[in-house]
Structure 1
Amino acid sequence: MNKKVRQALKFTGRFLLAIVAFLVVYVLAVIICSHITVNDEPEASSDVTIFINSNGVHTDIVVPVKNDVKDWSKEILYAHTKSQDSIMKYVAFGWGDKGFYLDTPEWSDLKASTAAKAAFYLGTSAMHTRYYSDLKEDDSCIKLTISKKDYESLVQYINESFQFGEDKKVLWIANHSYGQYDAFYEGTGKYSLFYTCNTWANNALKAANQKAALWTVYEGGIFTHYR
């Protein structure tokens, strides 16, 4: 075995070892930080009802369509949904990688290029919204009541996750939806291994001064503080 081959094998071994070490540290950090609670004693209030809603992978923050703090229907137009049904009580917000959202409606549709872009800050983001007439509390849907002040902070956080056009309106991504009641909009920021859709939702709870993980990338890291 010549010197160049030995050097190549040595480099490959170190590279693979570095990847394994990174993954071990990453997983440990996710587990530890996900179980550290912040805001473990939020202010008790019944001013505004919100929900934390999960599909098992992705977490949405669900808020009233309209109250004296914010009327979301003026920005998240019913006309942007296929149903255009205006008799709705709640609207859900989720942030994520645009490629994942628009090009991967099912896990079977996932492409390696989409995953790579999402993991390494190479893609762009989108906001996904969905209207609900009502929600049912269960293990995947947690009801919270928060103060008006905390809701104002949450509204600001959600607003800052949207891109706005010159007309000061959110940028609707037309002709994309999963069903009858949802719509997509251009988002701010980029998805990565360290900042996922669930990190966004976890930070939304932090912004509203509610219980949350110190840092998490998966939905269980949020719900473990409420179950």
Structure 2
Amino acid sequence: MIRQLLLLSCLLILTGCALAPSRSSVPAADAGHTIHLMRYGWHTALLFDGNDIRSRSPRLQADLRPARYILIGWGDGEYFVRDDAPWSKAVKALVNSDYPALQAGRRDSNPPLGVAPQDSLALAITSHGMDQLVAYIERSIALDAAGQPIYLGQQADHPDRFYRGNGHYSLFSNCNSWIVGALRAADLPVSGINLTAGSVFEQAQQIAALQQQMHAERQPALHAAQ
């Protein structure tokens, strides 16, 4: 555990070496779709327009009722699923996780309950990026021998559906690194090693700022053309 924490410290230092995104690598602000990066302390997740993601995901369309928003996250299969998980489960997850879980939950507002307004960040992506992102999410759901999802936790009236996930959860493969994979699947230029919510959110802020800047620069030209 001590060795892993020392290695994590070194990796966090390297996080600062992540390259700033270039304008040419960032989708335009009017690219067609908007997702929101959520930050809950040390955890990150993605918030989608409910119709947007359900229309592209047969699995979520089958398992979730229509909702204004749908929250997607990834974490340890034992700690993540339980509402009252003890800290001992969190420690175990970092060093000896049995399996990961993917969360898909209905939400009524943006930001959802538990997220401060400044911790909800809008990111524009293209239709191609959206398709790739949804495919990444569906690949993260583990299937049984019959090709059906393996469900975890409460199912009946719970707003969140939990699936057993593919991959392995650990100190170096956590919710934030999974989100990085999701953002990269969506063609967003996230670079470097990102194991903390802060490092993921900081890069996403740079991308959002560039998108807003490019949008502002286009407005005079659009008004002149009209």
- Between the aligned partners of 1:73 and 1:103, the Cα distance in structure 2 is 21
Question: Deviations for 1:107-162, whole angstroms, at most 9, x for unmatched residues?
Answer: xx222xx3454223441111112212331483211011210001111111111110
Partner of 1:46: 31
- Please list the CA deviations of residues 171-204 of structure 1 after superposition, one character each: whole Å capped at 9, or x if unmatched: 2224269x95222111111111111111101111
Instruction: Give the number of the structure whose residues are more often helix, by fraction.
Output: 2
Match of 1:76 in 2: 63
Q: Which residue of 1 aligns with 2:77?
A: 98
Q: CA RMSD in A?
A: 2.9
CA distance in 2, matches of 1:146, 1:71: 21
* Per-residue deviation, 1:103: 4.2
Question: How far did 1:215 drift?
Answer: 1.7
Report the equivalent of 1:110.
Answer: 87
1:202 to 2:184 alignment? no
Task: Measure how far apart 1:75 and its partner are.
Answer: 3.4
Aligned partners of 1:122 and 1:181: how far apart in 2?
25
How does 1:46-195 map onto structure 2 within 5 Å?
46-67=31-52, 69-70=56-57, 73-78=60-65, 86=66, 88-103=67-82, 105=84, 109-111=86-88, 114-136=89-111, 138-166=117-145, 168-175=147-154, 180-195=158-173
Between the two proteins, what is the percent identity of the paired residues?
Answer: 22
Partner Cα separation in structure 1 for residue 167 and residue 32 of structure 2: 30
Gaps of 5+ in 2: 206-226
Number of equivalent positions: 196
Long gaps (5+) in structure 1: 1-17, 79-85
